[in-house]
Structure 1
Amino acid sequence: MKKTNPPFVIGIAGSSGSGKTFFLKRFLDHFAPHEVALISQDDYYIPANTKTQEENKRYNFDLPTAIDQSAFQRDINLLFDGQTIYREEYTFNNPARKPKILETKPAPILIVEGLFIFYYTAVNALLNHRIFLHAEEEIALQRRLKRDFIERGYNEDDVRYKWVNHVMPAYRQYLLPFRDQCDRIIINNTDDPAPIITITNEISAELRALVSTS
């Protein structure tokens, strides 16, 4: 079997509500499907029914131990080896959403995204380029409230509790310390899409040129 060249790996992480999902969508628009692969830490959550609840019956998903790290690392390695991976989409326990089977094919550019990708030493070591997205806390919270109500069916009290007790402590402990190590820091405090579109235009052009000469 012919050994494939390793992909150029881009790590993208950001605080909850930083606009990472929109950034990723606009970034991927610049590439054909065969040019880029995306693997998301969010699809490797350990099922909630296997986790320990707090006294208030809320699961804490914002811990490195909430992720099946071995499966996450295994699938990244398979993409490095030129193999296609399959994974069931994680729906955050929303019964209204039927999970899809996600197919990810190897590609010259591999995007790895998630809260803990810099914290996981083995994953961080594979990254060639690191992007950090940030938004002011109140702006990020309002985005989180909107998303969790619409997409995940959570009520406001639950979201606010998790924000204070889970989300921000995890961000400060497991992501923020790596901010200064990143190649690019993007501040995203506006819901105007134009700045993000401009930034993704710039980054994609730079990376395309870099990958083509590597």
Structure 2
Amino acid sequence: MDKPYVIGIAGSSGSGKTFFLKSFLDHFSTSEITLISQDDYYIPANTKTQEENRLYNFDLPTSIDRNAFYADIKDLFDGKTVYKEEYTFNNPALKPKMLEIKPANILVVEGLFIFHYEEINQLLDYRVFLDAEESIALERRLRRDLVERGYDHDDVMYKWINHVVPSYNEYLLPFRETCDLVIHNNTDEPAVIQSFTNDIASELRQRIY
């Protein structure tokens, strides 16, 4: 197959990436678009104790199996299907699924470090940066981690102050001005994000098809 059109999507924690991705992907059939997420390439930390897990910094580029992430993206370029076990953020209540990532004309690459990893950044044709005010982003992070990932409040706040914010400032924020589209997502109104995804999807269809 021809090289896919590659869209890189990154943003601060709590910026609304998950809803953006869902809204964007809904514009296409599964044969037209595929998604590969950096989150599924965390180096396993499930052997750590609860205290070690609390202190461990998941918000560093070295916490990701960078080589495997890049290799699987290149396999998609080559028309190969990638099989990858879903990462469940060490939540024992969740059973990981086996992901089947099929090649498609549009490839979405998502993750905190996709611009920082030079070998991945250079593969991107279009870059989207989602951002939010820190207080709003923290509220969303608390809502997600307490309910979906089973963390307690102190753990979430420790990681936010010591890991999340410093990592965002060092590894993602410097790339904001180089992106093709920056979305300041400070509202939980779905229509705002849907408007952006409608425009991007329409432009893509004209460009690719």
Gaps of 5+ in 1: none
Alignment of 1:159-178 (within 5 A): 159-178=156-175
TM-score, structure 2 normalization: 0.96
RMSD (Å) for aligned C-alpha atoms: 1.6
1:127 maps onto 2:124 in alignment: yes
Q: Residues 71 and 89 of structure 1: is their aligned pair in 2 closer, same or farther, counting only changes over 3 Å?
A: same
Aligned to 2:208: 211
Q: Percent identity?
A: 68
Matched, 1:18 2:10: no
Q: Is the 8 A contact 2:54 2:155 kept in 1?
A: no
Tell me, which stretches of 5 or more residues in structure 2 are unaligned? Answer: none
Shift of 1:55: 7.6
Aligned to 2:109: 112
Query: 1:41, 1:113 within 8 Å by CA — same for their partners in 2?
Result: yes
Whether 1:182 and 2:165 are equivalent positions in the alignment is no
| Counterpart AA for 1:197 | Q
Greater mean deviation of Cα atoms: 162-171 or 42-51: 42-51
Shift of 1:208: 1.4
Question: Over residues 126-172 of structure 1, what are the superposed CA-to-partner deviations in whole Å (9 max), with x where a residue is unaligned?
Answer: 00000000000000000000000111100111101100100000000
Cα-to-partner distance string for 1:94-120 (whole Å, 9 max, x where unaligned): 000000000000000000000000000
State the alpha-carbon separation in 1 of the partners of residues 197 and 46 from structure 2. 38
CA contact (8 A) 2:59 2:164 kept: yes
Tell me if the contact between 1:83 and 1:106 (Cα under 8 Å) persists in the aligned partners: yes
After TM superposition, the score normalised by the length of structure 1 is: 0.94
Runs ≥4 residues deviating over 3 A? 49-57
Which residue of 191, 196, 201 maps to 1:199? 196
Cα separation, 1, equivalents of 2:110 and 2:181: 14
Deviations 1:34-83, CA, capped at 9 Å, x for gaps = 00010000000000146799889521100000000010001000000000
- Say if 1:7 and 1:107, in contact at 8 Å, map to a contact too: yes
Equivalent residue for 2:139?
142
Which one-letter code corresponds to 2:157 in the other structure?
Answer: R
Distance 1:52 1:114 in 2: 26
Aligned to 2:26: 29
Shift of residue 211 of structure 1?
1.5
Contact 1:53 1:59 in 2 (8 A): no
Does the 8 A contact of 1:53 with 1:60 survive in 2? Answer: no
What residue identity is the alignment partner of 2:164?
V
- Cα pair distance change 1:185/1:54, threshold 3 Å: same
In 1, Cα distance between the equivalents of 2:52 and 2:84? 32
- Cα distance in 1 for partners of 2:90, 2:60 equals 17
Among 58, 62, 83, the residue aligned to 2:59: 62
Pick the aligned partner of 1:76 from 48, 73, 78: 73
Find the aligned partners of 1:87 and 1:190 in 2 and give their Cα distance: 33
